[in-house]
Structure 1
Amino acid sequence: MIELQVPLGERSYPVLVGAGARHRLLELLPVGVRRAAVVTQEAIGWDVDPGVEHQVFTIGEGEDAKHLGTVEDLCRDLAQWGFTRGDVVVAVGGGVVTDVAGFVAAVYHRGVPVVHVPTTLLGQVDAAIGGKTGVNLPEGKNLVGAYWQPSAVLCDTEVLGTLPPREYRSGLGEMAKYAFLGVDRLPDLPLDEAVAACVRCKADVVASDEREGGRRAILNYGHTLAHAIETEGGYDLRHGEAVAVGLVYAAEVARRLRRIDDDRVAEHRRVVAGYDLPLAVPAGLDPQRLVDLFSRDKKAVRGVTFVLDGPDGVEPVAVADRALLLDALEACRAPT
């Protein structure tokens, strides 16, 4: 078992990575909790035993369930159960579950403890770590949320063996991102070590910039186009698949700004293809509409902000040239 920490002073918390990590849930619950509200989805198929009185609450499947109505329903269910600050939310599932349950924990009674037990690769390497929570609006992804750090995260790699192939590949899209954020030889690492390396990288970034005032924005590498694809495409692509396309697109934008050369763009394509992930924007999406959606991205303050590779590594960059953005999209279209 690999044991890591997200170092945030008095709010630091452990992350366990390895087969069977979910069985250590009881020892990582906050001291003195009376009951646990286990938030999950019917399709997850994995049970956890908090070791205290608990009740299971299910939410809907997929991104369609990630909205404010789900948050209200779950908060009302907790209220009817008599849930208090002396209890704990336990999120068991992928990124949708950890995002929704984490947001509920942040706002119910103005904040209750939450422990994440991510059951997807995407959840383990990214969504469950760092305290970002939130839900979608029709206008865009993750536009309503809060920063709310968990008390602990248990990444049980045993559960990943049962994921459908497409769901597993979606997690590889987030993992591919870390290959450009300083994690060396990532494709060569055994699964537990690869997950731990991504967690370690994210923990370091979060510790230096918890609320995305600067450096933490690099964790959104590939996400500006990804979120636009998800919104415009009705979430037909999985999140990690959209991120994979977004990584290639970000490289094309950076090349046009002369931040990187052709070889570095080719490396982006090689890493993404090596994980058997898509390289092209899905057919049928309007490039003009995608560029319009960039301005709704959470990083946008004045105009469009991208996270781009460059001579000093990956960093946020303001991009005002709409024609350049459209030209880079053309380079990411599937051949006809």
Structure 2
Amino acid sequence: MIELEVPLGDRSYPVLVGSGARHRLLELLPVGVKRVAVVTQASIPVTVDPGVDHRVFTMGEGEHGKDLGTIEDLCRDWAQWGLNRGDCVVAVGGGVVTDTAGFAAAVYHRGIPVVHVATTLLAQIDAAIGGKTGVNLPEGKNLVGSFWQPSAVLCDTEVLGTLPPREYRNGLGEMAKYAFLGVEDLADLPLDEAVAACVRCKAEVVGSDERESGRRAILNYGHTLGHALETAGQYDLRHGEAVAIGLIYAAELARRLGRIDAARVAEHRKVVGGYDLPMTVPPGLDPEQLVDLFTRDKKAVDGITFVLDGPDGVEPLRIDDRKLLLGAFDAVT
């Protein structure tokens, strides 16, 4: 078992990576917890035993279940059960579950503890780590949420064997991102070590910039187009698939700005293609609409902010040239 930590001072918390990690849930619950609300989805073939009085609350499937209606349903169900601040939420599932249950925990009674049992590759290396929680609006992805750090995260690599092939590849879209954030030889590492390497990278970035006031934005590499693709396509693409296309687009955009050369773009294509991920925008999506969606991205404060590769590594950059943004679609359509 690989034991890591997200370094946030007195709010630091452990991340366990390895086969069977979910069975250590009881020892990682906050001290004194007497009841646990387990949030999951009917499609998730993973169960946990918190070792205390608990009840299972099932939310809807997919990104369409990740909305404000689900938050109200969860909070009302918890209130009827009598859940209080001395209790705990345990999210069992992928990023949809950890994002949603984490946000519900953040706002219920103005905040109760949450522990994430991440059951997908995407959740283990990204979504469950770092305290970002939130739900979608029809206008865009993750537009309502909060920062609410978990008490612990368990990344049980054993359960990844239960994932359908497309869901596993979905996580590889986020893993591809880490190859450009300083994680070396990622594709050659055994699974447990690869997951731990991604967690270690994200934990270090989160520890240096918890609220995304600066450096943490690099974790959104590939996500500006990725989120726009998800919204415009009504989530026909999985998150990791959309991010993979976003990585190629961001590389092509960086090349047009003179920040990287063609060889570096080719490296992006090699990494993304090596994970058998898509590299082109699905037919029928309008680049004009996608650029309009860029302005609704959470990073957009004054104009459009893109995270781009460059001579000093990946960093956020403001881009006001709409023609340039549209032109870069030629390489991904």
Common fold: TM-score over 0.5: yes
1-side partners of 2:243 and 2:269: how far apart? 13
2-side partners of 1:227 and 1:113: how far apart? 28
State the Cα deviation string for residues 12-64 of structure 1 (Å, max 9, x = none).
00000000000000000000001000000000011000000000000000000
Q: Show structure 1 runs of 5+ residues with no match.
A: none
Three-state SS of the structure 2 residue aligned to 1:40 is strand
- The within-5 A match list for 1:250-289 is 250-289=250-289
Query: TM-score normalized by structure 2?
Result: 1.00
- The within-5 A match list for 1:188-267 is 188-267=188-267
2-side partners of 1:307 and 1:101: how far apart? 28
Q: CA deviation at 1:330?
A: 1.5
Q: Hey, what does 1:38 align to over in structure 2?
A: 38
1-side partners of 2:259 and 2:211: how far apart? 27
Q: CA deviation at 1:287?
A: 0.6
Q: CA deviation at 1:162?
A: 1.1
Three-state SS of the structure 2 residue aligned to 1:56 is strand
Q: Hey, what does 1:47 align to over in structure 2?
A: 47
Q: Hey, what does 1:161 align to over in structure 2?
A: 161
2-side partners of 1:151 and 1:123: how far apart? 16
Paired AA for residue 306 in structure 1: F
Q: Hey, what does 1:293 align to over in structure 2?
A: 293
Structure 1 residue ranges (4+ consecutive) displaced by more than 4 angstroms after TM superposition: none
Q: CA deviation at 1:282?
A: 0.6
Paired AA for residue 252 in structure 2: E
Q: CA deviation at 1:172?
A: 0.2
Paired AA for residue 239 in structure 1: H
Paired AA for residue 12 in structure 2: S
Q: Hey, what does 1:146 align to over in structure 2?
A: 146
Q: CA deviation at 1:331?
A: 1.0
Identity fraction in percent: 80
User: RMSD in angstroms over aligned alpha carbons?
Assistant: 0.3
Paired AA for residue 101 in structure 1: A
State the Cα deviation string for residues 142-162 of structure 1 (Å, max 9, x = none).
000000000000000000011
State the Cα deviation string for residues 67-103 of structure 1 (Å, max 9, x = none).
0000000000000000000100000000000000000
2-side partners of 1:112 and 1:28: how far apart? 15
Q: Show structure 2 runs of 5+ residues with no match.
A: none
Query: TM-score normalized by structure 1?
Result: 0.99
CA contact (8 A) 2:45 2:162 kept: no
Q: CA deviation at 1:190?
A: 0.2
2-side partners of 1:125 and 1:144: how far apart? 22
2-side partners of 1:54 and 1:301: how far apart? 42
CA contact (8 A) 2:105 2:114 kept: yes
1-side partners of 2:271 and 2:328: how far apart? 19
State the Cα deviation string for residues 208-229 of structure 1 (Å, max 9, x = none).
0000000000000000000000
Q: Hey, what does 2:64 align to over in structure 1?
A: 64
Q: Hey, what does 2:308 align to over in structure 1?
A: 308
